[in-house]
Chains A and B, each alone.
Chain A
Amino acid sequence: MAPRPMKRTVFTALVLALAMLATACGSGDDVTGPTADEGSCDVADLNLVTPGKLTVATGEPAYPPWVGTTDGEGFDDPASKLGYEAALVYELAAQMGFTDADVVWTRVGFDEAIAPGTKPWDFNLQQYSITEAREQVVDFSAPYYTTRQALVVFEGSPFAAPSSMADLKDAALGAQVGTTSLDFIEDVIKPSKEAAVYNDNAAAKAAMTAGQIDGIIVDLPTAYYITAVEIEGSVIAAQFETEAADPDNYGLLFAEGNSLVPCVNTALAALRDSGKLDELEQTYLTQGGSIPTISG
C-alpha cells in the first residue's frame, strides 16, 4: 500500500512520540514532591510552594470588607492586614508558626484558581462557597465563615420592602457568576424573569444603576459594603434565612490532594475555639441596624 519511505516516517514518528512521552513522564514525577511527615505541621515539614513562606492568593481587586475595611482603609491591600479575609490569613499564619513577613500575597482570577494544573500558591481565598461539585476538583478547608444572602435595591424601589419570597416574583434580579447568590435566585426565589449574570459585582452594580435590573443578590457582608459605599441610594431590602438553600460556607481553596489542608484546619479550629473568628467577624462583618429577614 504505502510506499516504502512511509514506513520510515512512521518509525520516526513513533520514536519521536516515545521521546516526548519520556520527557513528559520525567517532569511529571516532580509534581508530587517531598511530602510532609505524617501528622507534622511544623513549618519546616509543610508542603509549601515556597519553603518557609505561606503563599496566599486572592482576587484582583479584592473588595472590602474581605480585604480592607468598609471605611476604605487598606483597600485592595491584603498586606494591610485589614479586612476579614486579610486579617484571618495573618491569624492563621501566626497560629501555624509563620511570621507576618512569611505571608506572601499573589493575585489570581476566579478561573485560574480552578483550572487544572499546578497552582503557584498554597491556598486561595476570595469567598469561595464550599459545594460538593467543586470538591471533586479542588480541596476546601473547613468553613471560615457562614453567610446569608441579601437583596440590594434602590431606595424607593417597588421591591424595597418585601415581606416574603413571593413579593420578589416579578423582580429582575442579577448576581455574579460563580456565586451561590445566583443559585439562590434560581433555586429559591425563582423570579419570573431570568436572572442576569455578571462577571463581577461591579458589572451587576452598573446594570442596577443603568436600570436594567431591580436588585442584586449578594452575601450579606458584601451587601453592607455596596450599600454603605458603592451605590449611592441603595439599601439592603432583606436578608434571607431559609431551609431551602444549603448554608453558604466559605472555605479556603487548595489544589486537590494538598497535604496542607489538615494543618490549616487544625489552625482554623484553634482560632474558632479561642473566639478569634468571632472577634474578626465583629470587627469587619457586622454592622449596626437591623435588616428585615425573610424566611421560608
Chain B
Amino acid sequence: MREPSSIDNVGGGPGLLGPPPAPGRREEGTRAALIAFASTIIFTIVALWVILASPNWPKIQQQFFDWGHFVEAFPAILKGFWLDIKMFLGAEVIILILSLIIAMIRSLRGPAFFPIRALAVVFIDIIRGVPVILLILLMGFGIPALQLPGVPKSALFWGLTALILSYSAYTAEVYRAGIESVHESQRMSARSLGLTQGQALRYVLVPQAIRNVVPALLNGFVSLQKDVALVLVLGIREAVRAADIYAAKTFNYTGYIAATLLFLIVSIPVARFTDWYTERDRRRKQSVTA
C-alpha cells in the first residue's frame, strides 16, 4: 500500500498539490487534472475580482504596485539583497559546522563528559530562549559599547554573530534528533568494533543522522535566508531596509513588493528542492525495504 504523499502531486503522476490517483486509472487522472486546473482559474479570477473591486484598490495599487516606483526603488533594494545573500551564505556555512559540533558534544555518553555536555545544553537553552531580534540588539549594540580592547565593533559582525548563535542552537537540536534517530544498536556495534565514542559518532552515527535530517536542515536554510534581514535594526542597509527607506521617503510601498519578490525568487526554489529531495529519499528507502 502506498502511504499518502506529502509531496506536491497535481492531478496525477507529475502532478500538483494533492494525493496521487490510484494507479491504472488514467482517465480519472486526466479528469482530476482538468478539475484542478479549472478550479484554480476560477479561484484566481474570483480572488482578483474581490481585490480589484474593493473601493480602496486604486489607492492600494498606487501605493503598492506602481511600476514607476518599482523601477526607481529597485537598484538600492537589489544592492541590499546581494548583501542579504552574502550574509546568508556566510552564516549558513558556519552554522552547519558549529551546530554539528554542539550536537556531537550533546550526544557524548559517559559521566566524564558531563561538564561539556551541560555546557552545550545551557547554551542551547539560553540562546533558543531569547528572541533573535533581541539577541541581535543585545550583541550588536551592547558588546561594542563595552569598548573592550581587541573586540570588533562592527554592527555587521555582531549582527551575524547573533544570527549564527541563534540558528546554531536550533540546528544543533535538529542534528541531535537525527543522531538519536539512528538505532542504538549502531552505536553499540561501532563501540564493540573498538571505535571510540568520537569515532563512532564521526564514522557511524553522524553520516546516517545527517541523511535523516537534510529536509529539516533545508527548512532552516529557508528560514535563515529571510531572517538575515533582521540585522537592519543595527543600521545595516540590506534589502528590507532599502525598501523601508524608499517607503519612508516617498510614502510608497512598492519597494516592499520588490523586496518580497527577490526573497521569493530564492526561497521558493529551495522549498521545491526540499520537497523533491524528501520524496526521492523516501522512494529510495522504500525500494530498499521492499
Contacts and interface: CB of A to CB of B under 8 A. Distances in A.
Interface of A: 1-3, 6, 9-10, 13, 16-17, 20-21, 24-25, 27-28, 31, 110-111, 114-117, 131, 133-134, 136-138, 174, 177-179, 182-183, 194, 196-199, 203-204, 206-207, 209-213
Contacts of A10: 42
B23 interface: no
B46 A17 contact: yes
Given A10-B42, A212-B154, A196 B236 contact: yes
B63 A137 contact: yes
A33 B88 CA distance: 50
B110 to A, nearest CB: 43
Contacts of A137: 62-63, 250-252
Contact of A177 (B53, B234, B244, B251): B244
A9 B46 CA distance: 12
Contacts of A6: 35, 38
Contacts of A110: 248
Contacts of A131: 249-250
6 contacts: A16-B46, A17-B46, A28-B54, A114-B251, A137-B62, A198-B233
Interface stretch (B141-149, B183-191, B257-265): B141-149
A211 B251 contact: no
Given A21-B49, A116-B60, A207 B55 contact: no
A210 B139 CA distance: 10
Task: State the 8 A-B residue pairs at the shortest beta-carbon distance, nearest first.
Answer: A178-B248, A28-B55, A196-B235, A210-B144, A133-B250, A206-B141, A137-B251, A114-B251
Nearest to A209: B145
A17 B52 CA distance: 11
Nearest to B145: A210
Contacts of A17: 45-46, 49-50
Name the prevailing secondary structure of the B interface residues: helix
B39 interface: yes
Interface string B51-71: 001111001101100000000
A75 to B, nearest CB: 22
A203 B233 contact: yes
A197 B237 contact: yes
Contacts of A27: 55
Nearest to B236: A196
A25 B55 contact: yes
B241 interface: yes
Nearest to A117: B56
B42 A24 contact: no
Contact of A209 (B34, B141, B247, B253): B141
B122 to A, nearest CB: 27
A16 B169 CA distance: 49
A212 B235 contact: yes
B153 interface: yes
Interface string B255-290: 000000000000000000000000000000000000
B252 A133 contact: yes
A197 B155 CA distance: 12
A210 B244 contact: no
Given A116-B60, A178-B248, A13 B42 contact: yes
Nearest to A24: B54
B56 A116 contact: yes
A108 B55 CA distance: 24
A207 B235 contact: yes
Given A117-B56, A133-B252, A211 B42 contact: no
Interface in B214-255: 232-237, 241, 244-245, 247-253
